[in-house]
Each structure stands twice: as C-alpha cells, then as structure tokens.
Amino acid sequence: MDARLNPPADLPGLLDRVADILKKQRRVEGMVQGQHMPRQDIVETLVHRQHLAELHQLMAPLSTPELGAILEALPLADATYLWAQVPPGRENEVLWEMSDARREQLVGSREPSFGDSQIQAFERVDGKLRQVVIESRKDLDGLSAIWIDLLGATKAERAYVGAHFGLTLPDPDDVTDLEVSTRYHVEESGGIYLHSNFLLDKEGDSRSVPVAFILHKGILFSLRNEELPVFRLQRRLAATQVGYASDSHDVLLDLYGADVEYSADSLEAIYATLGKVGRQVLSETISDGQAAAILGDIAEEEDLNGRIRGNILDTQRAINFLMRSKTLSAAQLEDAKQILRNIESLNSHTSFLFDKINFLMDATVGFININQNKRINQLTVFGVVFMPVNILAGMGGMSEFSMMTQGMPWPLAYGAFLIVSILMGTATYVALKHFERRRARNDAGAATGLSWRDGNRRV
C-alpha cells in the first residue's frame, strides 16, 4: 500500500539541485581518478569528503516529506547513493514517505516501524478487550479492532494507518475552531469526527489536551499528542473488566464519562485547597507576604476551575452531537443522558467555586488594604506628634529666641527647649490615644445596640 504523502510544491527545484550536485560529483571524481598523481588515494578521499559534506549540507534543512519525495523521483542509482547519506536517525521517518516499490529497491524487506509513537489496538475477545501493540505495518493486517489509540503519531504514520482503513486521520492539534460544524461533523463516507479537549491536571500544571475521535465502520480512532490519565485508566479497565464495552460507541462514551469523573476529582481538590486558603484568610492577621501567596493560590485554582468548566461544556456539546447523530443504542442513550446529568451537577459546583474564589480574593485584598491603612495611620500619628515640636523648633531657630535667652547659659537654654519639646510631643500623643479609645468605645456601643435591635426583631 502506498503510504506517500502529497509531494512538496517545490519538488522540481529540489530535484534539479540534487541532480546537479550528484552530476558534478561524478564528473569531478571521474576526472580525479583518470589522472595519475602523487598521493592519488589521499586526493580522492579529500574530494569525496568534500562532495559528501556538500550533499549533507543540502539534505540537512529538507523536511522528511521532501526527502522522501526526492528519493522517490530520482533514478535508482542516484536514489541508492542518496539513501546511503541519510542519517540513521531519519531513516525510519523517510521510509514512511516512499512507496513500497521504491522502499524494496533501497532496503529490501525492511519496513518502517512506528518509532516513538504509541499505537495500540483493542480487539473484543471473550467479553474483554485484548490489547494489541502496533509496532509495524504487519500488525495491522487482519486486525479486527473496535478501538485504535494513536499517541504521538507522526504525519506519515497517521497517513498510513488512515489509508489502511480507508479514511483520513487528522492532527489533533490542528482543529481548534469553536464552530460545531468544524469540531463535530459527519463525513460523506459515514465517519463521525469529533474534536474534544480533555483535562490534564498535574501538580502546578493544568491544561487542556486536544483529542480527535473518529468513528468509522465500527472502529473508534483516538488521536492525541500527550498521555492522559483518563486514557491510561480506560486501557486498564478495558483489559480487565468483562463486558467493559460491546462496540466503539461504548468506548467513546466511557472515555467522555471518565473525563467528567476526572474533572469531578479535580473540583474536589479545588475545594480542599480553597478550604485551607479560607482558614488563612479568616485568621486575625495576614502579612503582605502571606497575602501574596494566598492570591497566587487563588489565581491558580481559578484558572483550573475555569478550565474544568470549559472542558465539561465541550464534553456536553460532544455528547449532544452523538445523541443527535442517531447512532447510539437505547442503553447507550441512557449512558449519554447520565453523563449529561453529571455535567449539570458539576456546572453548579464550578459556579459556586467561582463565587467562593471571588469572595476569598476580595477578602485577601481587603486585608492588604487594612495593612496599608495601619502603616498610613502610624505615619499620620508620627507626623501629628512631631508637628508641635517642629513648630517649636522653628521658633527656636529664629533670632528672637537668642534675644529671649540672652544672658542665660546655652546649656540651660537648650535644655529647657528640649524639655518643652518632649512635653509637647507627649501631650499630643496622649491626646491622640484618648481620642482613639473614645472612638473605639463609641463604635462598640453602636455595634451592641444594633445587635440588640436585631435580636428584638428576631424575637
């Protein structure tokens, strides 16, 4: 089966450059070999190395599809020579880009393998799903799977697997449009395409991972570029539980249901975190450093709560689309309705958490304002206490002061000036404290009276 992708648009130009380099190299090496000179072997080796360096410099920036298309289009002799210069780390990727005929000419019976990607298929055997790890193209032959999971598959690998089953497998990171017609649609061939976001909640790192689903001829294809706890759990359940899934629709609904449960677990973690934050916020005093840390925790939980809400709403849209597609059985419709009921309950929790987050954030900011007011009040008291002293000091700096103290020893005059300044500052401080205590008693009396009136109204 031909696994080649569409050739690059600038393929003729690339072919001309490669052909010119190979032709020039053959011409120069032929001229060197035809001459007899001292140290002939050394000269030939240097020329050969120079030509290889030039060829490697040309190949290095080429993408894998471009390199595969060039190897496909070159004459066999040139393709064989160029293939020998392909770095070992790129050989497997390039093999995916060539036809079976050209691949057999270059490497014989060697077939491309699924490199760093993880492709797993699940077949229904004795009521359980038996896992089949796909490591080469031969593993797909005769496969009767109801679920094929592709994790980190390359473009060429997706193209081959899709061609093997007669459909096109997209890159899950490509479809990000919010339009329902783009994210959820039915192809003319009958395949159902869905694109959803799944929650990945790690400590200190929560984000949404896009996952593409395709229901095609009784097989569920799931494509993603990151491992997810939901998929890891479902693979384990599929291999151990009897009657876990009867068809591909069951697997898809179970994945969506597990994502909702995973979101619920994350919401419980938010409740626990906000509970700790609330106890800190409602304590008597909070320093500015503690308030900054609390605001950071609240912002992180707000981001996670918003992400959960967005994901479950996305799941809700996907479930509604599946129900409208009229491809679910009666039991599957009931499962879908249960998932929607779970989503509705989670929506109320996320709304409550948003309110709680706003309250805690306002309370924390209020404590920061209180701390700032305390510092401003201290500065105000400090300024009021020293204001009379400043006035007296200003008077002492005038010439009249020296006239008033004329004939007095300067230690006595300045000592008296210092004593009067201290007495004025102390008197001002005592007066301010008396005023604050009186105001506090008045506020306490007003609060007690209000409480007494409220109690009478309740009685």
CATH number, position 124: 3.30.460.20
**Does 164 fall in a domain?**
yes
Q: How many angstroms separate the CA atoms of 18 and 20, rounded?
A: 5
Q: What is the pLDDT of residue 379?
A: 73
User: For residues 386 and 206, which has the higher predicted lDDT (pLDDT)?
Assistant: 206
The packing angle between helices 288-324 and 330-396, to 10°, is 160
Q: What is the pLDDT of residue 44?
A: 61
Q: Are residues 76 and 132 part of one domain?
A: no
Q: Are residues 189 and 312 part of one domain?
A: yes
Q: Are residues 135 and 60 part of one domain?
A: no
Q: Are residues 256 and 232 part of one domain?
A: yes
**Does 177 fall in a domain?**
yes
Q: Are residues 187 and 123 part of one domain?
A: yes
Q: Are residues 283 and 337 part of one domain?
A: yes
Domain limits at 26? 11-107
Q: Are residues 349 and 232 part of one domain?
A: yes
Q: Are residues 325 and 451 part of one domain?
A: no
Q: Model confidence over 140-181: pLDDT tens digits?
A: 888 888 999 999 888 888 888 888 888 888 888 875 554 545
**Does 372 fall in a domain?**
no
- Choose the weakest-confidence range: 124-133, 179-188, 234-243, 366-375: 179-188
Q: How many angstroms separate the CA atoms of 40 and 130, rounded?
A: 64
**Does 205 fall in a domain?**
yes
**Does 447 fall in a domain?**
yes
Q: Are residues 350 and 433 part of one domain?
A: no
**Does 17 fall in a domain?**
yes
What mean pLDDT do residues 59-69 have?
Answer: 80
Q: Model confidence over 241-280: pLDDT tens digits?
A: 777 778 899 999 999 999 999 999 999 988 888 888 888 8
Q: How many angstroms separate the CA atoms of 426 and 223, rounded?
A: 78
Q: Are residues 269 and 406 part of one domain?
A: no
Q: Are residues 132 and 59 part of one domain?
A: no
User: For residues 360 and 34, which has the higher predicted lDDT (pLDDT)?
Assistant: 360
Q: Model confidence over 375-430: pLDDT tens digits?
A: 777 777 667 667 776 766 666 665 555 666 666 776 777 777 778 777 877 877 78
Q: Is residue 240's pLDDT more than 70?
A: yes
Nearest residue to 295 via CA among 378, 243, 358: 358
Q: What is the pLDDT of residue 450?
A: 47
What mean pLDDT do residues 310-331 have?
Answer: 90
Among 51, 83, 107, the domain boundary falls at 107
Q: Model confidence over 326-350: pLDDT tens digits?
A: 888 999 999 999 999 999 999 989 8
Number of structural domains found in the chain? 3
Q: What is the pLDDT of residue 359?
A: 86
**Does 245 fall in a domain?**
yes
Q: What is the pTM of this model?
A: 0.68
Q: Model confidence over 95-113: pLDDT tens digits?
A: 877 877 888 888 887 777 7
Burial class (CB in 10 A: 0-12, 13-18, 19+), 394: exposed
Q: Are residues 162 and 89 part of one domain?
A: no
**Does 410 fall in a domain?**
yes
